[in-house]
Each structure stands twice: as structure tokens, then as C-alpha cells.
Homo-oligomer: A and B are copies of this chain.
Amino acid sequence: MAHFRVTKTCKASEVRLGELTTAHGVVVTPVFLPVGSRGTVKTLTPDDLREIGISIVLANTYHLYLRPGVDAIERSGGLHKFMAWDGPILTDSGGYQVFSLARLCRINDDAVVFRSHIDGSEHRFTPEAVIGLQERLGADIIMPLDECPPSNADMAKVAEAVQRTSRWAERSRVYSKKPGQLLFGIVQGGLYPQLRQRSAREIVSLGFDGYAIGGLSLGEPKEVMWSIVGETVPLLPPDKPRYLMGVGSPEDIVEGVSYGIDLFDSALPTRVARNGALFTPYGRQNIRKAVFRGSESPIDAECDCYTCRTFSAAYIHHLFRCDELLAYRLATIHNLRFIVRLVAKVREAIKDGTFEVFKAEFLARYKVTDEVARITQKRKWLSSDRGACDDSD
């Protein structure tokens, strides 16, 4: 039986509904994966995730390999048992982290050697080793090691990365053997359409269970990102899931769906939650602002999350002003539930054939302030060194 089934398509666009069958359950798509790099979606328990309506989570091979070590997780009966999550898990290969978070020592066609961002110890990843680690972790969907150059890399550098990513993808495909575990391919090629085409052609020719678009949302202007996505999606087989890596703000999910993306993951909803930026139908609100001090209403009157059902905005404001630990959990619950509800509404609209109307209405209401856009841009686009802090999610 095929592990992916497109259940509804749209005439004039790539927009679609699907069902992705994994060893730990069926995921309806489009879907958003919260980031739990270290085997924990920050501040939340598996019970919280289920109550929020999360159906699949992302963890990271690089982080778990360094801490607690794959042996410790294996001894605990695998990653699902270790983190007490019995739903589907996708593990990223750690390729991106090796090139952004760790200190890169050397890379050749055989392997990448890097120093841990935690203790400086030296480690070596080959494509086969990374597949082996993910087989031992026992994730439902695994990713091959890839080379992910910074978004401002020149064309020669990106071309080299595309070539290496294809060779590593082939070795990963050959090495991967665990029954029931799906292996996705990753299309690289930076911001160069010709390289994206070449990468897509080579990766698709290897025959994976799904296809990811990697190396985007690294600070490039949004129009550039969507232009690349728009040119890449038609190169991928329509009967396989499409995964846009590292993208998952409310506005980007709605946009991405219109390009035919099925899976999204991003640390943004949980990270900004911990900074007090809460999603509402009108855009992000900074809960630390004095205007919320006496606000008896919930953060978002339309929201049905535990936080909005239970507490006033004034209480959440108070917790953030006091740096109380409960603040981070309550804000995370709200932002993830906002995303889950948004994606459910997106699926409903696709089903009803009204997605374009839904998209226009949502984006007209949901204001992406210049401030938010500028800050995100500045922080990421100008900084080629994302390894300064251990940003595990």
C-alpha cells in the first residue's frame, strides 16, 4: 500500500489534501510539525501536544546524538518511548545543524567532521552513519545527510553542495533498510533556479518516499523564497509528500499551501511564544506591553486553547513581566494551538474548494508588522553565523 495518498486536488493550482501513513499513525496534510530537537517540544509534555492537536513532531539527530547519545535513547526503548510520544516522529539528519550550529572542521565527499557546539569534541558524520543513527532512534520519517551552505553563498559553492548532497542522498538511499521507516530526499540549490532544477532532477531520480525543499528561510527576502518554492514544486512527483523545511509562521503556512506544500516545520511559533509574541487573528501581539496589564479578556477571544480558556491576558502579561516559567508554557500552548486551528481551517477550505478566498481573507486580517518582518529579516539575513547560541528549536 502506498504510504501517501492525495485525497483532494484543486483544478487551477497545486493546492491539495493528503494522508501520510507512518508506522505510528496517519497524518492528514497539510500539516505543521513543532520542533522538539532534543526530544522535547520546549515546555510541553506529550499530553500537552495531544491536547493541542499536534499529530507529528520533529526531533533532531545532531542534538540527540550529542546529548544524551543514541545509546541512552536506544536503551530506553527508542525515541518514542524515551520522550513518551506514541505519534509519528520525523528526525532531521543534522546536516543543517552541522553547518550552522557546530564548528565545521572539514568536509569531503566521504564525510563531514565537526566540533560539538556543547563541548568542542570532534565528531564525524557520514551519510551511512546518519541513517544508522536515525534507524536506532526509530523515527517514522528520516532525512539523509545534506550539505546546506549559507544563503549568501556564491554559485560555485552552492553547486558543489548540490553535487555532494546528491551523492550523499544516493548512499543514504542504498544504506537505508529499516522496514516501515520512510526516507525523504532533500532538494538543495540555494537561491539559484538552475541549481534547484538540477538538484530536484537528481534527487527525484533516486526515488524517495517524500521530498523536502531545504536551504530556504535562512534570511533571504520572502519573494525570493516563494519564487524558488514555486519553481521547485512542479519538479517533484505529485504522488509523494512535499516538505518545506524550516518554514512555519502563520502567514508562511497559508502561502506555502498555495504552492502545494504538504509538510511544514519551524521553531518560530514556539520560539516567539517564549519571547511573549502571541498569535491572534490580527497578527502577533507583544503580551509584555503595558496595555495588557488590566486586560480581563483572553489573549485571543476566538481561541479554544487551555491558556485562552483559563486565563486573562492580564495574567499572562503578569507572568511574562515576572519572568515566571509558567509564562513560556502557556504562551507555547496558545501559539501551537493557533497554528493547529489555522491548518485545520486551511484543510477545511481546500475540501470546500474555497482555499483562495480563505487565504485572501486570512492574510488581509493577519497583519505582519514591518517591525516583525524587519527584525526577522535583519537577524537572519545579515548573520551568517547562527552558531552563537545553542538554538535547539
Binding site for B on A (CB under 8 A): 38-40, 42-47, 67-69, 71-72, 75-77, 82-84, 293-294, 296, 306, 310-312, 314-315, 317-319, 321-322, 324-326, 328-330, 392
Shortest A390–chain B CB gap in Å is 9
Minimal Cβ-Cβ distance residue in B for A326: B40
Task: Report the Cα distance A82→B312, complex, angstroms.
Answer: 7
Contacting A72 at CB < 8 Å: which of B314, B319, B324, B328? B314
Contacting A76 at CB < 8 Å: which of B44, B45, B67, B315? B315
Task: Report the Cα distance A69→B294, complex, angstroms.
Answer: 10
Contacting A310 at CB < 8 Å: which of B45, B72, B317? B45
Could you name 14 residue pairs across A and B whose Cβ atoms are closer than 8 Å? A38-B322, A40-B324, A42-B325, A43-B329, A44-B326, A45-B330, A46-B310, A68-B317, A72-B293, A72-B314, A76-B296, A77-B296, A84-B311, A329-B329
Measured between beta carbons, the chain B residues less than 8 angstroms from A318 are: 38-39, 67-68, 72, 82
Q: Which 8 A-B pairs have the closest CB atoms?
A: A68-B318, A43-B325, A84-B310, A40-B326, A75-B294, A72-B294, A38-B322, A40-B324
- Other A-B pairs beyond A40-B324, A82-B318, 18, CB < 8 Å: A38-B322, A40-B319, A42-B326, A43-B325, A43-B326, A44-B326, A45-B306, A45-B310, A45-B330, A47-B310, A67-B321, A68-B318, A69-B293, A72-B294, A75-B294, A322-B392, A325-B325, A325-B329
